[in-house]
């Protein structure tokens, strides 16, 4: 109990620091949202529009940094994230909620799949060192993980979409499809997600395989594994409950963190595949100096990462009594 | 494991097969899909006074009083106003408003809507994107006539008032509390299309069956997908999924034109991309330095190597050709050409001495400058590099500095640079508009303050006077003679160095549709991001029999 309380206290302090940095860092950037908007529409909008946009955005309403900070804290506490200037005049909350499901479905599912598959492959190849599985899969996926993501993604678009025509090359769904919970739309959306999903899994899986396999090898030399063998337990039982359970511990925190980062989207994936998720929105908010949207996204990522770490700490404490404090 | 993979693959393949059938489109209804990367998903807002979304509704839902063709030196076509007339020494402009036009909700459109629109812009300066009320005194209605009174003669403002201001419905907008933050997600307009559905990924427009131009539009549906990056947008054009493109496509002949005999493109030049020279810089304020640079830049090399030949080379007068060729003084255009020997001669005559290959001012300062540029525009990066090499060859050291677009714009607007590779000025229906945004010192601001135009901080009372004189005359011959004098100022004083001519990006597919803008018939600016021109284009398109 005391352990959990201490972890909670740590969580609150980290959260405050993150929220404050989140407020300060964007304000160190040069320029303002009105100029950023003019940059985005270079040549398509009359230069005179700068004046009108500054009024609309309230760019010249000089508010002191301190009062802006407290207004910001108050708004966050009440869940008010304000109006996005990139998607003016839409609210930040509406925009984020619109993009989040796409990211959760794509990046969330692939993160879990990469972890599960990677851990399983690592477990088996660590257990049966020198086997065919161990000789083929880990080196293969370590190589694919080392590819720069955008290169792999562009290559797979070229091969599977343009040359072979198996999958659509971009977007979350076909433009002529009507969005809704119907079979046509769902199959269309799934179809559009396969290629980005495969590229994510292929590039993410190698790390999990490697760490899991190495952890397995270390754990297998432990005395309690030898003891289990000596007791004559079935090999699969030793692999799962003796070796596997202990080998996975160091990976749990990593997995929790990567789950937390899911809500940040995958900027490269969404950019290359023109996918309507949060990662791309994040990039936009930075490019357009959209403080409100930037802060909301930063906050969302920080909070979920912190929560995920908290959950991983608790899970580790349950799985591994050694990490619990005495007393 | 294996079974799961097989299953996934099977699902993917069947879905891919289904997807393949769809692109043909259903029989009996015609559609056009636009491919125009805007780097953003749609907000599904259509407020025509919101600069970030106005291009999605102005031309299709909302319409202008008179259409002005920017590729035909401002040739006018009556639109919501059936006629117009200038009076009172070009200080009064009167429109006669068309009868029989209806809003898409069935209510009649009238002169009262026009007056209301302009009152709205007066009340909310945030909506007045073209700063109409900086020159307007009053807007009044008399039956079906609307009269605009100006503070001073304002002939060039016809373009902004008649062509660039979308007219909105009084009965809708008068009940809106805050028009600045109004989203307008179901716009009611007079135009040929109505918004039928919208998601962040695609907007679908449907034909307005009671449109006032009878029998039009001929195309039932317009799809406007959102593209956040260039490659997918280009791919849609190459594969024929999109018929109308407004894209920069590298190696366009191989990537696009060779894919189908129906694929065509045309890039009409509209506005210069130029090297801005900060006139307040102590060394650059010396005319000899600016002149030497103007002679030292090989514009056709920049055009061929930096811009793939898509953007033609400019000339020092600032007149974009061939679009505005009849405004060009050919003698002036030839005066300052690529001539490195002459460039060095000018520097030597002005007392500059060469040391280590770089000229130095008489008091010993080397001619060494930084030129800011937008790092995200790969063609500009290449072009700026060639400009720097050219200038190095004549003994002027220029370091190209590639910045993010917001840092770059901040520096240009506030005058915090020495040289800038830029195309900030907007195109207009005649060359006057670009020259004014480059030369009119009253649009400028001191260093450190945000300037809306004249970013190089050029200031000459005689030039300002010419620009104001143009505003007072509707006479074509007089306008031409004033523009010639402005060309003279560009050549004599070199406030900026036009390098290449920025174009409207335009690709079109003639497989299922006809009626496209062509070089032989430029009835509208053909890029989908130009308003209200894209509405004019959509009205000309027809399905092929």
Taking CA–CA distances from B19, the nearest residue in chain A reads: A188
The answer, yes or no, to whether residue A298 has pLDDT greater than 80, is: yes
Give the domain-ending residue among A45, A78, A111: A78
Say yes or no: A136 contacts chain B, CB-CB below 8 A. Answer: no
Query: Which of A30, A36, A61 to substitute to test the interface with B, most B CBs within 10 Å?
Result: A30
- Output the average pLDDT for chain A: 81
**Same domain assignment for residues A205 and A98:** yes
Q: Which span out of A67-76, A168-177, B256-265, B448-457 was modeled with the highest average pLDDT? A: B256-265
Task: Tell me whether A47 touches chain B (CB under 8 Å).
Answer: yes
Reduce the DSSP state of residue B150 to 3 states and report it: strand
CA distances A104 to A193, A201, A266, A280, B83, Å, are: 12, 15, 10, 13, 56
Closest by CA to B335, choosing from B317, B348, B320, B318, is: B317
B61: left (phi over 0), alpha (psi -120 to 50) or beta: alpha
Largest CA-CA distance found in chain B, in angstroms, rounded: 84
Instruction: Please tell me which residue, B522 or A70, carries the higher pLDDT value.
Output: B522
Of the ranges A102-116, A190-204, B53-67, B393-407, which is most confident? Answer: B53-67
Phi, psi of B259 (to 5 degrees): -75, -25
- CA-atom Rg of chain B in angstroms: 25
Cα separation, B155 vs B87, whole angstroms: 11
Question: B129 and A48: CB-CB below 8 Å?
Answer: yes
Q: Could you list the residue range(s) of the whole structural domain that residue A30 is in?
A: 2-78
CATH number at residue A137: 1.10.3720.10
Q: Can you read off the two tokens belonging to residue B244?
A: 């109308």
Smallest Cβ distance to B223: which of A51, A173, A176? A176
In a domain, A85, yes or no: no
Asked if A117 and A197 sit in the same domain, the reply is yes
Asked if the structure places residue A158 within a domain, the reply is yes
Show Cβ contacts of residue B116 under 8 Å, excluding neighbours closer than 6 positions. Answer: B168, B170, B173, B174
Q: What three-state secondary structure class fits A107?
A: helix
Nearest to B201 among A41, A165, A173 (CB): A173
pLDDT of residue B230: 82
What's the rounded Cα separation, in Å, for the pair B317 and B425? 15
Q: pLDDT value at position A275?
A: 82
pLDDT tens by residue, A134-158? 888 888 888 888 888 888 888 888 8
Helices A109-127 and A183-220 meet at what angle, rounded to 10?
A: 30
C-beta of residue A106 within 8 angstroms of C-beta of residue A193: yes
pLDDT of residue A105: 83
Contact B127 A52 (CB under 8 A): yes
Candidate from A29, A42, A276 with C-beta closest to B41: A276
Query: Is residue A84 one of the residues assigned to a domain?
Result: no
- A265 belongs to a structural domain: yes
Position B18 scores a pLDDT of 40
Inform me whether the C-beta atom of residue A22 falls under 8 Å from chain B C-beta atoms.
no
| Domain contains A89 | no
Token digits of residue A7: 């972890």
DSSP B526: -
Arithmetic mean of pLDDT, A224-244 = 85
Same domain, A158 and A298: yes
Cβ contact, residue pair A44, B130, below 8 Å: no
Question: How many Å lie between the alpha carbon of A267 and the closest alpha carbon of chain B?
Answer: 12
Residue B219 and residue B211 in contact, taking contact as beta carbons nearer than 8 Å: no
Nearest to B409 among A39, A170, A276 (CB): A39
Distance from CA of B280 to the nearest CA of A (A): 21
- Helix A183-220 to helix B2-22 angle (10° resolution) is 150
Phi, psi of A281 (to 5 degrees): -60, -35
A264: pLDDT strictly greater than 80: no
pTM over 0.95: no
Q: Is the pLDDT of residue A40 over 70?
A: no
Q: Return the structure tokens found at B224.
A: 């406007």
Asked if the C-beta of A167 comes within 8 angstroms of chain B's C-beta atoms, the answer is yes
Whether A40 and A153 share a structural domain: no
Judging contacts by C-beta atoms under 8 Å, the chain A residues touching residue B41 are 99, 276, 280-281
- A46 and A156 both lie in a single domain: no
Among residues B290, B283, B236, B285, the alpha carbon closest in space to that of B263 is found at B236
Residues whose CB is less than 8 angstroms from the CB of residue A278 and which lie 6 or more positions away in sequence, other chains included: A96, A99, A100, A102, A103, A263, A264, A265, A270, A297
Q: Please work out, in degrees rounded to the nearest 5, the angle formed at the alpha carbon of residue A121 by the alpha carbons of A119 and A124.
A: 105
Q: Is residue A88 part of a domain?
A: no
ipTM for the complex shown:
0.72
Q: Given an 8 Å threshold on Cβ–Cβ distance, is B225 in contact with A42?
A: no
What confidence score (pLDDT) does residue B20 get? 37
pLDDT tens for each residue of chain B, 545 residues long: 334 444 444 444 344 434 333 333 444 689 999 999 887 888 899 999 988 889 999 999 999 999 999 999 999 999 999 999 999 999 999 999 999 999 999 999 999 999 999 999 999 988 998 889 989 999 999 999 999 999 999 999 999 999 999 999 999 999 999 898 899 999 999 999 999 999 888 999 999 999 999 999 999 999 999 987 788 889 899 989 999 999 999 889 999 999 999 999 999 999 999 999 999 999 999 999 999 999 999 999 999 999 999 999 999 999 999 999 999 999 999 999 999 999 999 999 999 999 889 999 988 899 999 999 988 788 889 999 999 999 999 999 999 998 887 788 888 988 999 999 988 787 889 999 999 999 999 888 899 888 888 999 999 999 999 999 999 998 999 999 999 999 999 999 999 999 999 999 999 999 999 999 999 999 999 999 999 999 999 999 999 87
Residues A223 and A292 in one domain: yes
Contact B235 A90 (CB under 8 A): no
Long-range contacts of B119-123 (CB under 8 A, 24+ apart): B120/B168, B120/B173, B120/B179, B121/B49, B121/B165
Cβ atoms of B157 and B137 within 8 Å: the answer is: no
The rounded distance, in Å, linking the Cα atoms of B449 and B452 is 10
A283 domain residue, yes or no: yes
Q: Strand pairing partners for B18?
A: none
Same domain, A60 and A175: no
Sequence-distant (6+) residues with CB within 8 A of A25 are: none
* A129, A207: one domain: yes
**B405, A36: Cβ pair inside 8 Å?**
yes
Same domain, A312 and A177: yes
The answer to whether residue A41 sits within a structural domain is yes
The answer on A308 and A199 residing in a single domain is: yes
Q: Which of A54, A78, A102 is the last residue of a domain?
A: A78
Give the dihedral of Cα atoms B407, B413, B416, B421; nearest 10 deg: 70
Q: Tell me: the pLDDT tens digits for A16-38?
A: 888 888 788 777 766 677 777 77
A14 lies in the same domain as A122:
no
Is residue B39 within 8 A of residue B228, CB to CB? The reply is yes
Please check whether residues A111 and A159 belong to one and the same domain: yes
Banded model confidence at residue A45, pLDDT cuts 50, 70, 90: low
Burial environment of residue A144 by CB neighbours within 10 A (0 to 12, 13 to 18, 19 or more):
middle
> Which of B55, B197, B424 is opposite residue A47, by nearest beta carbon?
B424
Task: State the residue for tokens 């520096």.
Answer: B411
Domain boundary residue, one of A44, A78, A112: A78
- The alpha-carbon gap from B40 to the nearest alpha carbon of chain A, in Å, equals 8
Put simply, whether A164 touches B (Cβ < 8 Å) is no
Which H helix or E strand runs over B95?
A: strand B92-97
Tokens 């009878």 belong to B214
Enter the DSSP assignment of B259.
Answer: G
Instruction: Domain count for chain A, please give it.
Output: 2
Give the separation between CA B180 and CA B124, rounded to whole angstroms.
Answer: 7
Give CA–CA dist A129/B513, Å, rounded: 64
A31/B13 touch (CB, cutoff 8 Å), yes or no: no
pLDDT at A239 over 90: no
Q: Which residue in A has a C-alpha nearest to residue B410's C-alpha?
A: A31
């Amino acid at each position: 109990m005391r352990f959990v309380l201490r972890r909670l206290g740590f969580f609150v302090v980290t959260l405050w620091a993150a929220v404050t940095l989140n407020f300060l860092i964007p304000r160190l950037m040069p320029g303002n949202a009105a100029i950023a908007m003019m940059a985005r529409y270079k040549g398509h909008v009359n230069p005179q529009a700068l004046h009108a946009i500054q009024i609309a955005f309230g760019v010249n309403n000089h508010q002191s940094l301190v009062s802006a900070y407290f207004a910001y804290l108050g708004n966050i506490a009440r869940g008010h994230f304000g109006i996005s200037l990139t998607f003016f005049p839409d609210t930040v909350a509406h925009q984020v909620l619109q993009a989040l499901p796409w990211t959760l479905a794509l990046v969330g599912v692939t993160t879990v799949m990469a972890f599960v598959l990677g851990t399983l492959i690592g477990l088996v190849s660590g257990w049966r060192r020198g086997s065919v599985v161990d000789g083929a899969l880990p080196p293969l996926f370590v190589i694919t993980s080392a590819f720069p993501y955008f290169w792999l993604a562009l290559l797979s678009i070229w091969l599977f979409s343009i040359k072979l025509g198996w999958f659509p090359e971009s977007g979350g769904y076909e433009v002529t499809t009507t969005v809704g919970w119907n079979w046509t739309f769902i199959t269309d959306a799934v179809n559009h997600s396969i290629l980005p999903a495969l590229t994510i899994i292929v590039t993410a899986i190698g790390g999990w395989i490697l760490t899991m396999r190495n952890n397995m090898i270390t754990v297998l030399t432990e005395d309690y594994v030898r003891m289990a063998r000596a007791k004559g337990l079935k090999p699969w039982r030793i692999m799962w409950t003796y070796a596997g359970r202990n080998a996975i511990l160091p990976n749990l925190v990593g997995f929790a963190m990567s789950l937390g980062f899911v809500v940040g989207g995958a900027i490269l994936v969404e950019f290359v595949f023109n996918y309507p998720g949060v990662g791309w929105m994040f990039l936009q908010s930075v490019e357009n100096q959209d403080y409100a949207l930037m802060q909301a996204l930063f906050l969302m990522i920080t909070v979920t990462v912190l929560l995920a770490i908290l959950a991983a700490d608790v899970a580790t404490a349950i799985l591994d009594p050694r990490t619990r404090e005495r007393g | 494991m294996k079974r799961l993979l097989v299953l996934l693959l099977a699902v993917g393949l069947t879905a891919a097969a289904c997807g393949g059938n769809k692109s043909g489109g259903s029989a009996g209804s015609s559609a056009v899909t636009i491919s125009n990367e805007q780097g953003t998903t749609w907000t599904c807002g259509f407020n025509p006074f919101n600069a970030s979304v106005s291009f999605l509704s102005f031309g299709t839902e909302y319409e202008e009083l008179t259409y002005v063709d920017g590729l035909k030196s401002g040739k006018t076509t009556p639109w919501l106003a059936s006629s117009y007339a200038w009076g009172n020494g070009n200080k009064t402009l009167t429109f006669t408003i068309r009868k029989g036009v209806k809003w898409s909700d069935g209510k009649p459109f009238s002169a009262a809507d026009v007056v209301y629109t302009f009152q709205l812009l007066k009340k909310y300066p945030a909506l007045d994107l073209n700063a109409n009320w900086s020159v307007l005194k009053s807007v009044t209605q008399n039956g079906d006539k609307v009269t605009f009174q100006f503070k001073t003669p304002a002939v060039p403002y016809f373009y902004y008032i008649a062509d660039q201001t979308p007219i909105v419905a009084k009965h809708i907008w008068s009940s809106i509390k805050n028009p600045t933050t109004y989203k307008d997600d179901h716009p009611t307009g007079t135009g040929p299309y109505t918004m039928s559905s919208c998601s962040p990924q695609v907007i679908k427009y449907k034909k307005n069956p009671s449109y006032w131009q009878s029998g039009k539009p001929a195309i039932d549906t317009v799809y406007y997908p959102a593209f956040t990056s260039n490659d997918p947008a280009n791919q849609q054009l190459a594969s024929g999924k999109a018929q109308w493109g407004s894209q920069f496509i590298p190696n366009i002949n191989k990537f696009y034109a060779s894919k189908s005999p129906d694929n065509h493109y045309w890039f009409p030049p509209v506005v210069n991309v130029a090297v801005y020279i900060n006139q307040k810089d102590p060394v650059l304020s010396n005319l000899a330095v600016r002149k030497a640079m103007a002679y030292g830049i090989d514009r056709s090399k920049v055009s061929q190597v930096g811009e793939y030949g898509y953007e033609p080379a400019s000339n020092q007068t600032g007149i974009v050709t061939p679009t505005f060729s009849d405004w060009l003084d050919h003698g002036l255009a030839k005066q300052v050409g690529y001539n490195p020997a002459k460039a060095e001669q000018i520097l030597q005559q002005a007392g500059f001495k060469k040391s280590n290959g770089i000229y130095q001012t008489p008091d010993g300062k080397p001619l060494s400058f930084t030129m800011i540029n937008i790092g995200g525009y790969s063609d500009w990066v290449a072009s700026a590099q060639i400009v720097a090499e050219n200038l190095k060859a004549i003994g002027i050291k220029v370091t190209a500095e590639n910045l993010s677009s917001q840092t770059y714009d901040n520096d240009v607007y506030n005058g915090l640079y020495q040289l800038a590779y830029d195309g900030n000025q907007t195109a207009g229906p005649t060359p006057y508009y670009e020259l004014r945004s480059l030369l009119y010192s009253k649009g400028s601001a001191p260093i450190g303050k945000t300037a809306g135009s004249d970013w190089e901080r050029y200031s000459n009372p005689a030039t300002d006077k010419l620009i104001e004189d143009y505003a007072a005359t509707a006479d074509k011959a007089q306008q031409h003679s004033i523009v010639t004098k402005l060309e003279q100022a560009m050549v004599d004083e070199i406030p900026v160095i036009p390098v290449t001519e920025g174009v409207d990006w335009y690709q079109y597919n003639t497989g299922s549709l006809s009626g496209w803008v062509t070089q032989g018939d430029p009835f509208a600016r053909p890029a989908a991001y130009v308003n209200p021109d894209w509405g004019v284009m959509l009205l000309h398109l027809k399905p092929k029999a």
